[in-house]
A and B are shown apart, each in its own frame.
Chain A
Amino acid sequence: MNSKNKNMISRFFFWLVVIGIFVYMIFPFYWMINSSLKSEAQLQMTPATFVPRNPKTGIFAPSLINYKAVLENKPFLRGIQNSVVVAVSTTVLALLVGAFAAFALGKLRYRGKTASLYIILSMTMFPQIAVLSGLYFVIRNLAIPAIPSMILSYMLFTLPFTVWVLASFFRALPMEIMQSAQVDGATPFQTFIYILLPLTAPALVTTGLLAFISAWNEYLFALTFTTVQPSARTVPVEIALFSGTIAHQTPFGEIMAGAVIVTIPLIALVLIFQQRIVEGLLLAQSKDRIHRVLNEL
Chain B
Amino acid sequence: MANKKVAFSELAKGEERLALLLLVPTFIILLVIAIYPLGSVFVSSFTDRQFGTHQPTHYVGLENYRELLFFTVKQLPPVIDPATSQPEIDPKTGGVKYENPFNVLPKTPKRYHDISQFDLFGKRYVIGAIDQYFLPSILDTIMFTVISVILELLLGLGVALVVNTAFRGRGLMRAVMLVPWAIPTAVSSRMWEWMFQSSRVGLFNVIGQILGLTDGNFPFLSNTAFQLPAMIIIDVWKTTPFMALLLLAGLQLIPKELYEAADVDGANKVRQFFAITIPLLRPTIAIALIFRTLDALRIFDLFQIVLAQSRFSMASYAYYQLVDYANMGTSSAASIVIFVLIVIFALSYIRAVGIQEE
Contact = CB atoms under 8 A, between A and B. Distances in A.
Contacts of A101: 22-23, 25-26
A47 B216 contact: yes
A21 interface: yes
A129 interface: yes
B195 interface: yes
Give the dominant DSSP class at B's interface: helix
A195 interface: no
Contacts of A140: 51
B182 A267 contact: yes
B184 A239 contact: yes
A285 B183 contact: no
Give the dominant DSSP class at A's interface: helix
What size tier do the contact residues of chain B reach? 35 or more
A286 B30 contact: no
B186 interface: yes
Of A26, A97, A132, A259, most buried by chain B (CB within 10 Å of CB) is A132
A259 B318 contact: no
A257 B313 CA distance: 28
Nearest to B284: A287
B30 A155 contact: yes
Given A110-B20, A285-B291, A129 B187 contact: no
Contact of A237 (B167, B179, B186, B297): B186
Contacts of B318: 129, 132-133
A274 B335 contact: no
Nearest to A96: B25
A85 interface: no
B14 A271 contact: no
A70 interface: no
A235 interface: yes
B263 interface: no
Contacts of B39: 134
A220 B302 CA distance: 11
A71 interface: no
A247 interface: no
A252 to B, nearest CB: 5
Nearest to A218: B184
17 contacts: A21-B162, A31-B191, A105-B23, A109-B15, A110-B19, A120-B26, A125-B294, A129-B339, A133-B335, A135-B37, A155-B33, A223-B319, A227-B323, A239-B184, A256-B190, A266-B184, A277-B178
Interface of A: 14, 17-18, 21-22, 24-26, 28-29, 31-32, 35, 43-48, 97-98, 100-101, 103-105, 108-111, 113, 116, 119-120, 123, 125-138, 140, 152-153, 155-156, 159-160, 163, 187-189, 213, 216-217, 219-220, 223-224, 227, 235-237, 239-240, 242, 252, 255-256, 259, 262-263, 266-267, 269-271, 274, 277-278, 281-282, 285-288, 290-291
